[in-house]
Amino acid sequence: MSKIDFDEVYKGLTSSNDEEEFIDRLTTIIKSYDINLYKDLLINNPYFKVLISDIAKNILIDVSKIKESILSLINTIECSDEDLSDLLKTCLSLLERFEIRESEIKSLI
C-alpha cells in the first residue's frame, strides 16, 4: 500500500468517531503498512503506544497461525514435480515475508 493510501487511513484514524472505529483503523495500519510509515507518528503518542502494544500482540497470534499453515503446506510438498517445486519456493518466500513482518510487529511491543 502506498504512502497516499496510508495518509488517508491515518486521517481516518485521527477523525474516528468512536473507540471501535479507532481500534479498527489502527489495526489496519499495523497489519497493512510498512512500519516505517507509521512508527514515528504513532509510537510517540502515549495513548497510541499502549493500544499498539495490545493490537500487535493480537496480530502476532494471527501471523503465527498463518506461518503454521505455510509450514504445514511446506511439509506436505514433495519436490519431484516441477510445479510443486515452484509452489515450495513460493511458500518459502511467503514464510520469509511473514517472519520479517513478525519481527517488525514485535518491535512495536
**Containing structural domain, residue 93:** 3-106
For residue range 62-108, what is the model confidence (pLDDT) as tens digits? Answer: 999 999 999 998 888 776 666 677 888 888 999 999 999 999 999 88
Considering the entire predicted model, what is its pTM?
0.76
Number of domains in the chain: 1
Cell of 92: 518459502
> For residue 79, what are the CA distances in angstroms to 8, 74, 84, 89, 93?
44, 10, 6, 10, 16
For residue range 21-33, what is the model confidence (pLDDT) as tens digits? Answer: 999 999 999 988 8
- What is the distance between the alpha carbons of residues 77 and 74, in angstroms, rounded to a whole number? 5
